[in-house]
Amino acid sequence: MKVCIYGAGAIGGHIAARLIAKTDAIVSIVARGAHLAAIRANGITLRSGGQEIGGHPRAVTDDPASLPPQDIVLVTLKGPSLSAAARPLARLLGETGFAVFLMNGIPWWWNHATDRDGPLELVDPGAAMWREVGPGRALHGVISSSNAVVAPGVIQHYGGNRWMIGEPDGALSPRAQAVVDLFGDAGLQAIVSGDIRADIWRKLFVNISSNPFAALTRLTSQEGAAVPGLDDLCVKAIDEALAVTLAMGCDLRSETCAEDIVRPPGGRGGGRSSMLQDVDAGRALEVEGIVGQVQAFGRTFGVPTPTLDVVLPLLRGLDLALRNAREAAGKQGA
């Protein structure tokens, strides 16, 4: 089985290292920059539970066109990078391959197999993914695993090893089971989801209450607890997302306690959220998938989102500032 990890950062690197070390899959990696150079030279290494696993992929490249068609492509790019990858990804899938999108927020294929069938402009500008790849070749993965790139080619796993794989239409398909079996062979605790949209919402409640506020304040959840009123805003963000979810026909109120998500009974972790890591590194932020599309759904279904209405333009402004800084740095280096 030919498997490509498209974007081997923290999550993609974790998966790649385990697949290489523990399965017979023919693993290729699409990466860039120092990460690419390090993997070419030394392979990829995952540090987890006091052990190191990994090895060399069959191929590592920054040019997907240099790879043969793949059976499975595991897409671990951030949302802002998807549009540019649409055509290369479609070519990489060939005639029979399919893609599993392992990413946060509302995915580009969301409306597929619903009565609102069609692309979402905020998370798929110009319908690039919808047009080039097509939702019929997309599965999705919801991740509960904390990882970071601690050096080029080296991934640190901090905790969590739960992976939910599902079809947009909720079918318990052979291809979803094939991904789960592959992950299981690699030591990844995966199951097939019977309702991937509900699982995406469950993860989004955590993301919408942590990532935006961490990015805007530069504080971890633990540090933010000392700021009067900040936790209250986090709770309101979850409550608004819950109301949107309900209006769209998915009632998760009985199982979701915003207070427990923001102030977990077992205490807060001190790690830096994924969006805060992106701010630290000056990267593009997953604004639309985590916040923008939720607000847009709210407006479509007549649900007020006053907290998100304030947070979203601030987050878009921060994303623009980071983009301007990257462009300025690029001009200085030219």
Per-residue pLDDT band for 334 (boundaries 50, 70, 90) equals low
229 and 82 belong to one structural domain: no
Closest CA to 7 of 86, 76, 68, 99: 76
178 and 270 belong to one structural domain: no
319 and 272 belong to one structural domain: yes
* Tally of structural domains, the chain: 2
Contacts of 165 (CB under 8 A, 6+ apart): 100, 139, 140, 141, 176, 179, 180, 183, 190, 191, 192, 193, 196
Closest CA to 308 of 232, 258, 259, 237: 237
62 and 205 belong to one structural domain: no
Q: Is 203 a catalytic residue?
A: yes
Residue in this structure with the two tokens 């990858």, named with its chain if needed: 85
CATH number of the domain that residue 249 is part of: 1.10.1040.10
Rounded Cα distance, 204 and 294, in Å: 10
pLDDT (tens digit per residue) in 294-319: 999 999 999 999 999 999 999 999 99
142 and 220 belong to one structural domain: no
CATH number of the domain that residue 136 is part of: 3.40.50.720
Give the rounded percent of residues in the chain with a pLDDT score beyond 90: 90
Per-residue pLDDT at 241:
98
Instruction: Decide if pLDDT at 261 tops 90.
Output: yes
Of 162, 194, 226, the residue that ends a domain is 194
Of 169, 194, 219, the residue that ends a domain is 194
72 and 107 belong to one structural domain: yes
Per-residue pLDDT at 297:
98
pLDDT (tens digit per residue) in 80-124: 999 999 999 999 998 899 999 999 999 999 999 898 899 999 999
203 and 178 belong to one structural domain: no
211 and 282 belong to one structural domain: yes
Q: Which of 2, 203, 236, 331 is catalytic?
A: 203
Residue 43's domain comprises: 2-194
* pLDDT, average across residues 259-273: 86
Of 194, 211, 234, the residue that ends a domain is 194
250 and 286 belong to one structural domain: yes
Instruction: Decide if pLDDT at 17 tops 80.
Output: yes
Q: Which helix (H) or strand (E) holds 239?
A: helix 230-247
pLDDT (tens digit per residue) in 135-192: 999 999 999 998 989 999 999 999 999 999 999 988 899 999 999 999 999 999 999 9
142 and 52 belong to one structural domain: yes
222 and 304 belong to one structural domain: yes
Closest CA to 32 of 72, 88, 70: 88
For 186, 278, 292, the CA distances from 275, given in Å and listed in that order, are: 27, 5, 14
145 and 215 belong to one structural domain: no
CA dihedral over 198, 140, 142, 111, signed as positive or negative: negative
